[in-house]
Structure 1
């Protein structure tokens, strides 16, 4: 059995050779260094950096004091971390974490997951007591297909893979296909005057998407204020006659990723079209508009991540626009 890290670990004794406590702003450089060292060995498609971690610690929905932990060695160097996040009304929690490659195979990863499971149970209980629904606790963790050590660890702890996702790329050296909007529709910039309307459009567009949950105002603000967000590469399609939002695309760019991956990447974070406007080529027009903006900014590749079983046919849409899958990831789940 793995060592157990108690959920109230502030004054815990040394476990697995590490001292554990919640993450704080003073830990960001140390925390980011741990993730970067792990990424240098495991080569994930993307990993959290300094700005992302600072953003995480700003969340009030997922208080770092009860949703994060970092394990430090005797020199004070961060060697492992874990965290969970959950929407108050959500029916699942999501777990993230890593262990320094030099400290793997010591039971630390299993101990971190055990802590995540305990925190998930406690978080569900708190949300239920606050009137947010009495859901059965479940924890989901996402891994990339090539990370077999993570898959083995999750399987050993009773997790099962329940969904697969494709990372897809399209070279921007190829001409962007012309996909104009039909009459009565127009592009608008993603500015503050449309943020709330786009949030509501997103909730409607993603209502039938697996794993998606409605975004409240705080979680939507958290999305829009991601450090890598590029609102100048994003766009909104509006119905000219009514002013209603028909669809939108949110883009991002991580300038540090170019050094890791060898190319500059414009990333499509979210793309949605409301039901009443589907079948009018809006998705293709939004993708083409995003690709034009990526290309004008000097990006090499347009990329995105898509659920392989997306009910709206998104995979076929992206293939039709010239995207091709380059890697896969999967979501693992355990009912607690």
Structure 2
């Protein structure tokens, strides 16, 4: 269930001791999502962070609003560091993602150097640790994981995370595949088609899908990812709420695969996609989730779902389909994507730290 109130502490003063190194007049607090200058400043920070990390920016205002808007704050909390002129120079965001897993965004202005940049980073890291204890205690946990990310090769970020006790635990290939106009014919119809006893169908033309279909997608993905790296149980309400927040969310990008050669259709695969704007060029599609139940593997379900979103993207005039794959997985999923035309554009990393939650430690 989605909590009525946030599990985080909203007052930075409750969590932060005096942090040395900040100049006189610098302050910490929460950003104002209604202030266009704050939102613009956070967008600049995020885009500059991406530019330094992978060579180009990709995020926009909508990505920032997911983190700071009132809609998202039941599951999130934010902290910013302002200089003496009131300009935002560092930003931290925490997300109560699922039981035992707290996501953490850690961004320090790239123009800051030396001791001042270190001080801003230290403040964000101390705050995140305290928030991990807050959300972990609210969930009744003994240990709370902090899960944050970095671009491969970002030495500054690696230095700060390693120094704060984080461990690099995983690498992720961020892959993209070009889409050609003729690929509209990859499948008979992205709305619905069948092959070898498996039916692939779009859940909606734009409206919220039927509750039973949404629950079927959730159950398929929960089973498919149960044994994957850092898999955490997520309630149906948490799952839908989180995906609806995505700036590229579109109900017509959800597909279900069902075995139909039995008495009743059996959901065995699901693909949740999102859309991205093209700016000055064509847009793109993105595979946020692709899962197949173990009992149905080997029946072409994953290939069929991927062909469906590519054909749909082609019909929409999109020029690419992106996805993320676990670079360290032993499942061989990367071979499927390579075989179907996906190539790695850049690599990201997962860094974890496990925080003991006060008196709840066993024993």
TM range (shorter): 0.7 to 0.9
TM-score (norm 2): 0.78
CA distance 1:263–1:108, change in 2 (3 Å)? farther
Query: 115, 120, 124: which is aligned to 1:112?
Result: 124
CA distance 1:297–1:33, change in 2 (3 Å)? farther
Please state how far the C-alpha of 1:32 moved relative to its aligned partner.
Answer: 4.4
Task: Specify the alignment match of 1:236 in structure 2.
Answer: 256
Deviations, residues 282-312 of structure 1 (Å, cap 9, x unaligned): 1001001101111221222211111113343
Please state how far the C-alpha of 1:104 moved relative to its aligned partner.
Answer: 4.6
CA distance 1:200–1:41, change in 2 (3 Å)? closer
**Distance of 1:141 and 1:251 partners within structure 2:** 23
Root mean square deviation of aligned Cα: 2.9
Please state how far the C-alpha of 1:35 moved relative to its aligned partner.
Answer: 3.1
| Bigger Cα displacement from structure 2, 228-237 vs 207-216 | 228-237
Task: Specify the alignment match of 1:103 in structure 2.
Answer: 112
TM-score (norm 1): 0.83
Deviations, residues 154-198 of structure 1 (Å, cap 9, x unaligned): 122222211111011111138649578433321222231111211
Query: 58, 75, 78: which is aligned to 2:88?
Result: 78
**Distance of 1:215 and 1:29 partners within structure 2:** 35
Q: How does 1:258-277 map to 2 (within 5 A)?
A: 258=279, 264-277=283-296
CA distance 1:282–1:32, change in 2 (3 Å)? farther
Q: 1:266·1:299 contact (CA, 8 Å) conserved in 2?
A: yes
Task: Specify the alignment match of 1:131 in structure 2.
Answer: none
Q: How many residues align?
A: 319
CA distance 1:248–1:81, change in 2 (3 Å)? same
Query: 203, 216, 225: which is aligned to 1:190?
Result: 203
* Counterpart check, 1:36 vs 2:56: no
Q: How does 1:100-179 map to 2 (within 5 A)?
A: 100-105=109-114, 106=116, 107-128=119-140, 134-173=141-180, 176=183, 178=186
* Counterpart check, 1:69 vs 2:79: yes
CA distance 1:24–1:79, change in 2 (3 Å)? same
Query: 5+ unaligned residues in a row in structure 1: which ranges?
Result: 1-5, 129-133
Q: 1:209·1:311 contact (CA, 8 Å) conserved in 2?
A: no
Query: 306, 312, 315: which is aligned to 1:296?
Result: 315
Q: 2:287·2:322 contact (CA, 8 Å) conserved in 1?
A: yes
Q: 2:200·2:304 contact (CA, 8 Å) conserved in 1?
A: no
Query: 5+ unaligned residues in a row in structure 2: which ranges?
Result: 1-8, 188-192, 356-363
Q: Match of 1:333, SS? A: strand
| Bigger Cα displacement from structure 2, 226-235 vs 44-53 | 44-53
